[in-house]
């Protein structure tokens, strides 16, 4: 097994140095199959894995073009759908993810100035899989390994996929006995070469320089892919990345406190410039920054909160600002808010108490959409 695997991998790398008229992967597998047969090596073949009936050939091996059985659906539609939905969702997610990854890979390999359409890929795959299910077939998706092999062989047009399908059907119907004799080791060698070609080796150099949380997420997702499947791994990675982002941003809120100054309207003012993202994850930290300041502030008549270098993202941040204003307002201090977008300024001004003043300056106030204002 090891000899056939390593021999096939070596041939795929070396044969292009001799000729590129025939795909190296096809030549390597053919040579490995002939060597296994002539030398009578005790190698495991496709027939040993899938069974002899799979490679008996003829049109009888093709799926029957018939609608699927819907008796169970008629008997209990809800129970039927609840049973198949988890499998359907998992297959759809895994298929779309691998297809989009394949599209990205091929776009990088084929530098012809064009890019594939992700929306067209998703629509086409969905229609094809529904049609396959309704005619007795099995759903599928774009394959990274197969696409890489075709690209290396010069198959970069749509015709490549059609030729592959026809060749596969012809091989199953006519050349099934030949396929049955292909040793598993040769296919393993082929996939090892594919893995070597598609693996992003530069990512290993980033492990020491990227944040530790990103390294942890990368390791967990890799383990889940191997132990579970691609769809679950993507969900786990997305959740972990979102949580790590929220945690990181929640600790990056800071205050720059200026010296006490006199204001013609507000009296003795103390200005706090807020920096960072204010949302549900950082709202508590934002309030704690003000809680660290002892009350009362004897020489201060007004506190100015400047949000020019901050961004307010949700209702939790608005409530945190209101809580800070109420805390200082209870001590008889006026709180002035500056550099808020118009929508948030109107929201805060509407619910503001006597201690809260929301200033408005169209020339300097930022403009950005916020979920809090939309809510």
> Using one digit for the tens of pLDDT, what is the confidence trace for 19-57?
888 888 889 999 999 999 899 988 999 988 888 777 887
**Phi, psi (deg, nearest 5) at residue 210:** -80, 160
Regarding whether 281 and 166 lie in a shared domain, the answer is: no
Name, in order, each residue with C-beta under 8 angstroms of 263's C-beta and a sequence gap of 6 or more: 269, 302
Please give the average per-residue pLDDT across 147-163, as a whole number. 82
Q: What is the pLDDT of residue 7?
A: 94
Regarding whether 362 and 331 lie in a shared domain, the answer is: yes
H/E stretch holding 93 reads helix 77-109
Most confident of 7-11, 242-246, 351-355, 358-362: 7-11
Regarding whether 347 and 280 lie in a shared domain, the answer is: yes
Confidence of residue 370 (pLDDT cuts 50, 70, 90): low
Q: What is the pLDDT of residue 190?
A: 92
Nearest to 104 by CA among 140, 138, 151, 154: 151
Regarding whether 218 and 171 lie in a shared domain, the answer is: no
Confidence of residue 375 (pLDDT cuts 50, 70, 90): low
Regarding whether 364 and 347 lie in a shared domain, the answer is: yes
Regarding whether 217 and 331 lie in a shared domain, the answer is: no
Cα dihedral: 276, 278, 282, 284 (round 10): 120
Distances from the Cα of 128 to the Cα of 113, 137, 203, angstroms? 28, 10, 35
Please give the average per-residue pLDDT across 308-329, as a whole number. 86
To the nearest whole percent, how much of the chain has pLDDT over 70? 96
Nearest to 46 by CA among 172, 175, 181: 181
Q: What is the pLDDT of residue 373?
A: 54
Confidence of residue 303 (pLDDT cuts 50, 70, 90): confident
Of 217, 250, 283, the residue at which a domain comes to its end is 250
Regarding whether 158 and 53 lie in a shared domain, the answer is: yes
Confidence of residue 228 (pLDDT cuts 50, 70, 90): confident
Of 183, 198, 213, the residue at which a domain comes to its end is 198
The domain containing residue 236 runs over which residues? 205-250
Regarding whether 316 and 228 lie in a shared domain, the answer is: no
For 117-147, give one letter per residue: b (16+ CB within 10 A) or e: eeeebbeebeeebeeeeeeeeebebbebbeb
Q: What is the pLDDT of residue 369?
A: 61
Regarding whether 155 and 11 lie in a shared domain, the answer is: yes
Q: What is the pLDDT of residue 173?
A: 86
Question: What pTM was computed for the model?
Answer: 0.60
Q: What is the pLDDT of residue 372?
A: 52
Task: Give the domain CATH number at 285.
Answer: 3.30.750.24
Q: What is the pLDDT of residue 374?
A: 56
Q: What is the pLDDT of residue 240?
A: 92
Residue 371 predicted with pLDDT over 70: no
Total count of domains within the chain: 3
Residue 278 predicted with pLDDT over 80: yes
Regarding whether 213 and 331 lie in a shared domain, the answer is: no
Question: Residue 344: helix, strand or coil by DSSP?
Answer: helix
Q: What is the pLDDT of residue 184?
A: 94
Separation of alpha carbons 355 and 326, rounded Å: 7
Of 166, 182, 198, the residue at which a domain comes to its end is 198
Regarding whether 212 and 124 lie in a shared domain, the answer is: no
Regarding whether 162 and 147 lie in a shared domain, the answer is: yes
The HSE-up count of residue 6 (CA atoms within 13 Å, CB side) is 3
Cα diameter, the chain: 100
Q: What is the pLDDT of residue 298?
A: 76
Separation of alpha carbons 266 and 305, rounded Å: 13
């Amino acid at each position: 097994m090891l000899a056939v695997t390593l021999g096939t991998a070596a041939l795929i790398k070396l044969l292009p140095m001799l000729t590129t008229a025939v795909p190296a992967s096809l030549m390597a597998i053919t040579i490995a199959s002939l060597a296994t047969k002539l030398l009578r090596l005790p190698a495991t073949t496709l027939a040993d894995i899938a069974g002899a009936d799979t490679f008996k050939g003829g049109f009888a091996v093709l799926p029957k073009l018939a609608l699927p059985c819907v008796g169970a659906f008629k008997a209990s539609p809800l129970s039927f759908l609840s049973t198949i939905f988890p499998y359907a969702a998992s297959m759809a997610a895994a298929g779309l993810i691998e297809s989009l990854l394949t599209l990205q890979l091929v776009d990088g390999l084929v530098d012809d100035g064009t890019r594939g359409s992700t929306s067209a890929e998703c629509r086409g795959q969905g229609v094809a899989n529904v049609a396959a299910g309704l005619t007795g077939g099995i759903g599928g998706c774009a394959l990274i390994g197969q696409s890489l092999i075709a690209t290396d062989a010069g198959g970069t047009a749509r015709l490549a996929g059609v030729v592959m399908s026809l060749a596969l059907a012809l091989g199953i119907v006519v050349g099934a006995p030949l396929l049955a004799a292909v040793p598993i080791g040769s296919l393993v060698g082929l996939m090892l070469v594919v893995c070597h070609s598609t693996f992003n080796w530069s990512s290993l150099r980033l492990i020491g320089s990227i944040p530790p949380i990103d390294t942890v997420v990368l390791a967990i997702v890799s383990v889940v892919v191997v132990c579970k499947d691609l769809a679950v791994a993507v969900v786990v990675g997305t959740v972990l990345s979102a949580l790590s982002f929220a945690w990181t941003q929640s600790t990056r809120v800071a205050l720059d406190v200026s010296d006490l100054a006199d204001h013609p309207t507000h009296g003795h003012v103390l200005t706090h410039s807020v920096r960072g993202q204010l949302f549900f994850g950082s709202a508590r930290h934002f309030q704690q920054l003000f809680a660290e300041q002892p009350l009362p502030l004897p020489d201060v008549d007004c506190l100015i909160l400047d949000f020019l270098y901050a961004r307010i993202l949700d209702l939790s941040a608005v409530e945190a600002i209101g809580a800070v204003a109420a805390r200082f307002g209870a001590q008889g201090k006026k709180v002035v808010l500056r550099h808020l977008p118009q929508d948030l300024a109107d929201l805060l001004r509407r619910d503001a108490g006597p201690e809260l003043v929301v200033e408005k300056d169209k020339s300097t106030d930022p403009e950005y959409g916020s979920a809090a204002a939309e809510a």
